[in-house]
Amino acid sequence: MLKVAILALLFISNVKSDGDDGSSGHDLFNKYDINHDNHMGITEFRHLFMGFDAWPEDGRVSEHEFIAGWTAYHSELTEDRSTALFFLRTDLDHDGSVTASDVDKLFHMFDENGDNSVSDREFCDAFTAMYYHIKKC
């Protein structure tokens, strides 16, 4: 009985800290919706997933670049040690790098109604389904 109570308390405090944190997939969407039209176009979407192509800048985001970038800029969104899993789920063709081809496929997976634009709702639905270890929208 005591165990159940402790678990319940842990659950409540987890929910509470998520809510207090203020960072979410929704914030991520707003940050990368650069022209603030409440939709993410392919260019904005590529910027989100390929923005860390820097060391070297060669059109391929290596696991090292991806993890270093997300840890530096978006660590508030990911749980401990989940960034490697995030990379694996983004590298759709499993060739060891995130490229425009992965990101374009991802964009079409996110764009549920096929209008070549990812709305806030489409982003939240797909993002939390695909990257379930990341804090909810």
For Ca ion, the binding residues (CB under 5 A) are 33, 35, 37, 39, 91, 93, 95, 102, 111, 113, 115, 117
Q: For Ca ion, give the closer residue by CB, 16 or 108.
A: 108
In the complex, least distance from residue 91 CB atom to Ca ion, rounded to whole angstroms: 4
Euclidean distance between CA atoms 70 and 51, whole angstroms: 10
In the complex, least distance from residue 34 CB atom to Ca ion, rounded to whole angstroms: 6
Give Cα separations from 133 to 40, 60, 86 (angstroms): 22, 24, 8
In the complex, least distance from residue 32 CB atom to Ca ion, rounded to whole angstroms: 8
Name the DSSP class of 39.
E
Q: For Ca ion, give the closer residue by CB, 48 or 134.
A: 48
Whether 40 contacts 123, CB under 8 Å: yes
- Tally of residues, the chain: 137
Q: For Ca ion, give the closer residue by CB, 78 or 122.
A: 122
In the complex, least distance from residue 78 CB atom to Ca ion, rounded to whole angstroms: 20
Euclidean distance between CA atoms 87 and 112, whole angstroms: 22
